Amino acid sequence: MPNKLKTLKTLLGEVADLRQILAVLEWDQNVNMPPGGSEARGQQLASLGRIAHEKATSKKLGKLLDELKSEFTDPDTDEGALVRVTARDYEKAARVPPKFVAKQAIITTKAFEAWVEAKGKSDFSIFRPHLEKVVKLAQEYISFFPPADHPYDTLLNDYEPGMKTADVQAIFDALRPKQVELIKTIKSAKQVKDDFLYKKYSEEKVWKFGETVITQFGYDWSRGRQDKAPHPFQTTFSVNDTRITNRFEENNPFATLFSAMHEAGHAMYEQGSNPAYERTPLAGGTSLAVHESQSRLWENLVGRSLPFWEHFFPLLKKTFPSKLDGVKLKQFYKAINKVEPTLIRVNADEATYNMHVMLRLELEIGMVEGKFAVKDLPEIWNAKMEEYLGIVPPDDAKGVLQDVHWSSGLMGYFSTYALGNMISAQLWEKINEDITDLDEQIRSGKFDALLGWLREKIHIYGRKYDPQDMVQRVTGSRINPDAYVRYLTKKYNAIYEL
């Protein structure tokens, strides 16, 4: 290895170590930390974040990258990709002052604790002053960069490199009328019964059933674990330490099962990253949309499919004999795929889920533009829910406070959920071309070939390729809604006999 490249990897390794330590502290804040620790944790995150940022934007690193850019120009080599991706990250990070990074850590740490309290009490006023600071942070962050086609482009680019706000809006504009039409058609059909899903199920048994499923998927417990948190998430400390969290809702017990599949999908992506990329910017997922394609694929295209439940339903009935007495396989399959507008995004069915995402994108753009004031969000949220889904939240907890992301400063993020749905369907069509007996394998409880395909085509490359290029390489087309519309139409035509 040339000395300069070796020096680069040494410098990047130190930055990666610091960021992974930050991730450990953030995981602990969600899983273990008592509420009283928030102020001290905010200071710890601020100090470490500032140090990591200073190292990631040092003049020494910048000078080294300038020298290496002319030496490693082939983007298809690991070395060329490392220099390209690192240079892109460096140029962005160098625009952001270290003081801002520290300030952001303190504000978002306090915001998270305020969100937990506000959600528990269903009182937006507790969270409001913190969210106002988060929005100001986003606007200040945007000011560090040259003017874009739209201010929101700067935020979106952090999560979906190369994607513009106008690109996302065009994709959503093409998708929305087709989803609305499908939802209306389903609404006129006979509704399926799902009351047996909402009985009182044992939390421990549901939790363990989920662990059984994701173990069979291929989640490596020697490099992972599952803990409880207020909002399910996945985090990575290294390719050999990728953790997931989950929660149990008494009034919606099976949400725990599908959350386990979802977060395991994220984690298996991280576990499949090329070990040679460890402690470099090439490690992990190429974008949040591609990441979301993995979680939604395992949760929905696998976990809500009929072949999957042909295998797992007998075990589920054995686990909950009294709760599922008299319930047949097809009844259960239809119930978990019931289409009905719901208040909570993470529990939404596949036909209505993207409408939740479109709503949030509209609100985030409005906040960034200054069109929507934070104080008015509950009212705006409720009005948009009625417009998009025909329902109105009864309180803040089931409305504007339901998601954790804004409290963590994650603005620019939400559209990736819907983009991930579309990518998952594009991948699914290609997977079925390559694995012609995939349904039969799933029906037999075998997932090795599916996980192997994803490892070979997606996971192993980490961030080597930009998301649109990755999707194009694997599926032959860039991100678009066509495959997703085909998938939804075929699935729900059968379920609702349309």
Burial bucket for residue 308 (CB in 10 Å: 0-12, 13-18, 19+): buried
Please tell me the distance from the alpha carbon of residue 288 to that of residue 159, in angstroms, as a whole number: 6
Half-sphere exposure of 225 (CA within 13 A, CB side): 7
Q: Which of 113, 263, 350, 362 is catalytic?
A: 263
Distances (CA, A) of 84 to 69, 71, 116: 7, 11, 39
Active site residue 204: no
Return the bridge partners of 228, or none: 246
Please tell me the distance from the alpha carbon of residue 333 to that of residue 13, in angstroms, as a whole number: 47
Q: Are strands 234-238 and 226-228 parallel, antiparallel or unpaired?
A: unpaired
Please tell me the distance from the alpha carbon of residue 370 to that of residue 11, in angstroms, as a whole number: 39
CB 113 within 8 A of CB 81: no
Helix axes 124-143, 377-389, angle to 10 degrees: 90
Q: Are strands 226-228 and 241-246 parallel, antiparallel or unpaired?
A: parallel
Which tokens in the block code for residue 3? 């000395």
Please tell me the distance from the alpha carbon of residue 459 to that of residue 286, in angstroms, as a whole number: 9
Which tokens in the block code for residue 42? 């905010």
Which tokens in the block code for residue 21? 């330590």
CB 182 within 8 A of CB 489: yes
State which H helix or E strand residue 228 sits in. Answer: strand 226-228
Active site residues: 263
